[in-house]
Copies of this chain bind each other. A is one copy, B any other.
Amino acid sequence: MAADRLYVLLERLGNLLRTEERAAGLPHGLQPVHLQALRYLQSCNRYSNTPAALTEYLGLTKGTVSQTLLLLEEKGLLRKQADTEDRRVIHLLLTEAGRAVLKQALPPELFKRALSGLPGDGAALDESLTELLRALQAANAQRSFGACGTCKHFQREGSGRFRCGLTQDPLSREDSQLLCREHEGITPGH
């Protein structure tokens, strides 16, 4: 059956990437999950840089993520900032050192080269995988963590000016490209 083949393929690719991530993080004393956390924090928006959001993104328990963050903070790769509105909430901000580690470590050079051999630079692959991920997340009742600009709450207000229909906050063009934990895809045919 095709499902079996695809499952094994994705699993093996996942393992390979993990192995490479392990190697990439080793010189900094970081595990794969640490690099993933850093990368998420680099590309998420200001509503989504909290331990709770990261927990959902990684699909781990909050206790586990709390430990991860402790380590990253000790290494000086991120700092915590209390929220001014909700005093339970903490925002996670990458330091310069954190950004530097990411820049150096990801994505691995090998991966880029392997990709260049694919037809169309992997555009079709991108599309299929995106769809597959979307379906799996929906089946698991998981959030999609898509880019702000592709959300159903995203509103255009003229040239280069946007707004989030959920929070009513104005959004810049840069904002619109960041990942959001409240992201909901636009349901086609509606």
> Chain A interface secondary structure, helix, strand, loop or mixed?
helix
Residue A166 CB within 8 A of the other chain? no
**One of B14, B124, B140 near A128 (C-beta < 8 A):** B124
Residues of B within 8 A of A12 (CB): 133
**One of B2, B129, B137 near A10 (C-beta < 8 A):** B129
Residue A107 CB within 8 A of the other chain? yes
Residues of B within 8 A of A111 (CB): 3, 7, 136
Number of interface residues of A (CB under 8 A): 53
In the assembled complex, how far is the CB of residue A22 from the closest CB belonging to chain B, in whole angstroms? 9
Complex Cα distance A80/B124, Å? 44
Residues of B within 8 A of A115 (CB): 2-3, 6, 132, 135
Q: Residue on B with the closest CB to A19?
A: B59
Q: Residue on B with the closest CB to A107?
A: B7
Q: Which 3 A-B residue pairings sit nearest by Cβ, starting from the closest?
A: A14-B14, A114-B135, A7-B107
Complex Cα distance A35/B171, Å? 45
With A36-B11, A140-B16 as given contacts, are A5 and B106 in contact (CB-CB < 8 Å)? Answer: no
With A19-B59, A110-B139, A115-B132 as given contacts, are A122 and B13 in contact (CB-CB < 8 Å)? Answer: no
CB pairs A–B below 8 angstroms (10 shown) = A2-B123, A4-B107, A7-B111, A10-B10, A11-B21, A13-B133, A16-B59, A110-B139, A113-B135, A113-B139
Residues of B within 8 A of A2 (CB): 115, 121-123, 126
Complex Cα distance A99/B140, Å? 27
